[in-house]
Amino acid sequence: MALYGASTEYVLHSLLWLVENPEPVSSLDLAELQEIPAAFIAKLLPRLEKAGLLIASEGLRGGYRLGRPADQISVLAVVDAVEGAKSLFNCQEIRGRCALFDAGAPEWATQGVCGIHGVMLRAEQAMRRELAQTSLADLARSVRNKAPSPFFEEAQSWFDERVQTRRISKVRQRKRSGAV
């Protein structure tokens, strides 16, 4: 079972499109570009807005943009906003339930932190440290280094076209309703 699932993956991929895009991007556009469920992403982005990682704007050119520079947004902040507080391991203290302990567990068996729990806590701390040290800008840089430069120009054109299509559609709706 994965500790972090599709929610975290969808959000992180979506945020990468906002790193160098100063204009707000709609959740629908983010979802359709990546072929991920629109309703799912639309439910997740408000969590990031609440955490101060995104700013939402309404209107024809509305959508989401980063709430602060990408180098000031850690992957850990995103994960915590999406997933909430999750422990890597939930110790059940079975060390005190050995069949050989007829009259209850002796003190030596349950003294201090469970060794297994201690290892898991250290692993969780190391993971959280790594997520805290990796920024959204770091992730975006690694993606940019892999993709050919025309790809990002094509993506920006795709977003621009979507905004233009909505604008034309809105004008047509107004004309039909007699508002223009």
- Nearest CA among 60, 93, 101, 54 for reference residue 77: 54
pTM of the model: 0.81
pLDDT at 99: 81
Domain limits, the chain? 6-177
pLDDT at 164: 80
On average, the pLDDT of the chain sits at 87
- Nearest CA among 9, 123, 152 for reference residue 75: 9
- Residue identified by tokens 């004008």 is 171
The CA distance from 19 to 136, in Å, is 7
| Residue 9: pLDDT over 60 | yes
What's the topology of domain 6-177?
A: Arc Repressor Mutant, subunit A (1.10.10)
| Residue 114: pLDDT over 70 | yes
Q: Read off the pLDDT of residues 133-178 as tens digits, 9 standing for 90 and up.
A: 999 999 999 988 998 888 888 988 888 888 787 766 655 665 666 6
